[in-house]
Chain A
Amino acid sequence: MRITSFMIFNQLTRSLQRNMEDFAKLNSQLASGKRIEKPSDDVIGMMRSLDYRLSINNTEQYKRNIEEANFHLQFTDKVLGSVSDSLLKLKELLSMGGNDQTDENRSFYSNQAAEWRDFLLELSNTKLRDRYIFSGYKTDQVAFSYNSSTCHYDYNGDLGKIQIPFDTGATLPSNIQGSEAFSLTLKGPLPTELPDGTPLNYTQTTDSSTGVTTITVEIGNAGDPDYDTFSVSNLMDVTNVLSYAWQYKDIDGSDLHSDAAIREEMAAHRLMALSIPLDDAGNQVLQVQAEIGTRQVHLNDQKTRLDNTALNLKNALSKTEDADMEETTTEILKTDTALQALRESASRLISQSLLDFLK
């Protein structure tokens, strides 16, 4: 082939250009640490890394959700711990003061019970970040409030479970409804008479829209002078009845009976009849706490899994899009050597001409 000056020059500039391009590309990879700097560098790798990044992003969000849910559950658990303690104290009170007859002592027990009642009400209306935690969906309303016309405590919330997404398509409630924690349902075989032989009957009805169970207690036979009936639908109600019973009074403040002896007997019956619901309430709170524990274990397991997943994804992402530094550096050295050799040969080729030798 006939070689002309232009061909040599052209070949040279193209080779130099190509080398410089390689050089620039490798340098830019080294500077950014990324092998893929635009989709066309590696379309499949790019799609993979986009996938990884979205998955990592999702995972991080789920982890934030789990933290939030855990925080709620932990807080709820603390509150329920206090409820549990209060119930124990109440039981103590009941076993100590069940048969005490002195007015002074009874008034002390009554006051104590009233304090526990108010404390329980306070607990039921706990707020976390401006939300009432036991009101279901109705987080802007106090869970329980005293109804002065019925003299009962009413549940204002609903059955709403605030579901928190913690994985693709998986959710778990972060709240405990007031009707679950503070309302009580009696379980198992119920006694039909008090220890002294007085007939006893518990009737339970559950409101399906709120989940609140109302327990109607009947003591004695209808028509008897000491026949007594009352209803409770939550822990505050129970404590309230106790508090008044120590003063021989009904919850509306009226005397249980005009006759002092009957009044005392009725009050004693009430205290006895309430010891079973109080026991069950304690168990129920423990069960709810266990439920919270289960959810927390579940969430923590999930969090560990997500941590692992995120780590795997990050490794995969790094493998896909990061430049191998050693390899890139070696490549740069190779390109540099090639460039130097090219310059050397170029300087010889270009500088030589027949004209130099014609004298």
Chain B
Amino acid sequence: LSLFGLFDIAKSAIFASQTALTVTSQNIANVNTPGFTRREALFAVAAPVALSGNLLGNGVTITGIKRYYDQFIQTQLLGQYENYGRSSALNQTLSQIEQIFNEAKNIGLAVPLTDFFNAWQELATNPEGFVQRSDLLQKANSLVLAAKQMERGITDNLESVSDSIDNIAERVNAIASEIAAINGKIVQVEAGSQVQNANDLRDQRDVLMNELATLVDFSSYEDENGSMTIMAGMRNLVSGETSNSLSTRTNEEGDKDLYLDGINITGNIKKGQLGGLISVRDTIRTNSLNGLRRLIASLIQEINALHRSGYGLDGTTDNDFFAPLQLSTRDFSSGADMTATITDSSQLTLDEYSIQFDASGNYFVYNKQNGTLVTSGAYVSGSPISFDGIEISITGTVTSTDKFTVSPLTDVMRNFQVAISDQQKIAAASSNAALPGDNSNALRIVQLYQNSIANLGGATLSSYYGGLVSTIGSMSRAASDSLTFDDNLLSELNTKRESLSGVSLDEEAANLIRFQRSYQAGAKMIQITDELLQTLLDL
């Protein structure tokens, strides 16, 4: 071994220290970079040389740069991001809906509803009073306004849910195409290499996948080339260097459905913000929106029935107090149209119905709320079908694939208004002969407030409304609790990840000194070797 061998060892020491210093600097520089995983230069003894039967050291080499990374934690993190995304979407939307029903601040229907019935009591004490009559009309109009505002609040929220779904889908697409691009780069960099050394690209991809997980739930696997395949709703979102685009379409209910690769995957999306938004809009629709509509529909139905039986000061009877309920229909048929009318409003169940046909020309009417068969029979073209106070008639030819729906609830709020404009027509009396002092019909309407109503499942108007408030309150509470829980869990997992992958400045400062010293020592070795050579040359 020549003296020059010493140079080589010293040089390898300097180079190794320099590399380690670079890695340390990189760590320090990225101490605040999200998703950065700390690196460490791996030192190894260079392959020794055999000399006179002895193995002599040949310096140091850097075998690689290690990325402190735990796939298990990362997988857990992704799952938790999905939960967190869902909870935050639920919490945000439900807390807004809750504000519409915030009875703690007297926002909602409780006050206008009691005011309305109190106005009837005032009328009962003064059946011929014009002040009481105009006050009643005013209270009725306030009730209408409040109910409409509440519905608008809910539908506005549903619309903003739809908008959010659009926006999130766009962001998902942007992330998907970025991941696809990074996939390509990783494969390129790591091609032929035994180690996963595209560290920065991997960090970037992890950050993107974390963000994607807050938006939508997905499953992913990495192939042997380092390319990540991502599947959302059981369809490929990212595969190699290509990404499919997530698109939205408006469905029958007016909600946005998600399509990936031309397939409707809405039902398969359970988590992430998208999953949260999809589930919360259904909850809001069935609980708050339909509940509110059912309450108002019952009010219209009950008040009108009583009011029609009474007499106004002008002796007229059979007047509706609120504009009567109207049915809304939808047909999913190419060759036939359907119209529906209410034949007996006292028989209305306020449920929605669907009408279907089979191949042998029979019709089937189903109650959409409880799925029961209401009526069926052989369909005679053109002749009406009657059930539960509703009569439908169909024009055109029906086929077995045709489907029609009838709902008394959809348009309730749109048509909700006070039908009485002339206060004389308010029917406080039960008999024409007893005008104007008869207040017995007003008393019956006052009593309605305490009555249990069959179409509200036996609840009274106010207890049914109380149910709506408590439902949204409990849901909002549950959402905010689970958001807190998911947030804590996420923070816990992030701490775990940080504990392994994060940069500690103290540690890096120590490393700086360590590698600085080893660099200095290496330099000293060169100096000493040089002096040794000088000694040799001076001989």
Contacts and interface: CB of A to CB of B under 8 A. Distances in A.
Given A39-B472, A39-B476, A46-B469, A135 B437 contact: yes
A53 B434 contact: no
> Which bucket holds chain A's interface residue count?
35 or more
Contact of A358 (B32, B105, B509): B509
A11 B98 CA distance: 31
Interface string B422-450: 00000001000111111110010011001
B153 interface: no
Contacts of A79: none
Interface stretch (B73-81, B375-383, B500-508): B500-508
A303 to B, nearest CB: 15
Given A39-B476, A43-B474, A2 B504 contact: yes
A149 interface: no
Contacts of B121: 61, 64-65, 165
A57 B506 contact: no
A355 B95 contact: no
Nearest to A45: B104
A165 B114 contact: no
A4 B509 contact: no
Interface string A150-181: 00000000101011110011010011000000
Contacts of B114: 54, 57-58
B104 A49 contact: yes
Interface in B85-135: 95, 98-99, 101-105, 110, 114, 118, 121-122, 124-129
B429 A137 contact: yes
A279 interface: no
A3 B438 contact: no
A162 B31 contact: no
A358 B125 CA distance: 90
A3 B500 CA distance: 9
Interface in A47-69: 47, 49-51, 53-54, 57-58, 61, 64-65, 68-69
A101 to B, nearest CB: 48
Residue with the highest number of chain B CB atoms closer than 10 Å, among A34, A47, A68, A174: A47
Given A2-B499, A137-B434, A355-B509, A39 B103 contact: yes
A40 interface: yes
26 contacts: A4-B499, A4-B504, A5-B504, A6-B31, A6-B32, A38-B98, A38-B473, A39-B98, A44-B470, A46-B104, A46-B470, A50-B103, A50-B466, A57-B118, A61-B122, A129-B126, A137-B429, A137-B438, A138-B434, A138-B435, A162-B437, A162-B439, A163-B124, A163-B440, A168-B450, A175-B437
Interface of B: 31-32, 95, 98-99, 101-105, 110, 114, 118, 121-122, 124-129, 429, 433-440, 443, 446-447, 450, 462, 466, 469-470, 472-474, 476-477, 480, 491, 494-495, 498-500, 502-506, 509-510, 513
Given A6-B498, A129-B126, 7 more contacts: A3-B504, A7-B495, A10-B491, A39-B473, A40-B98, A53-B110, A160-B434
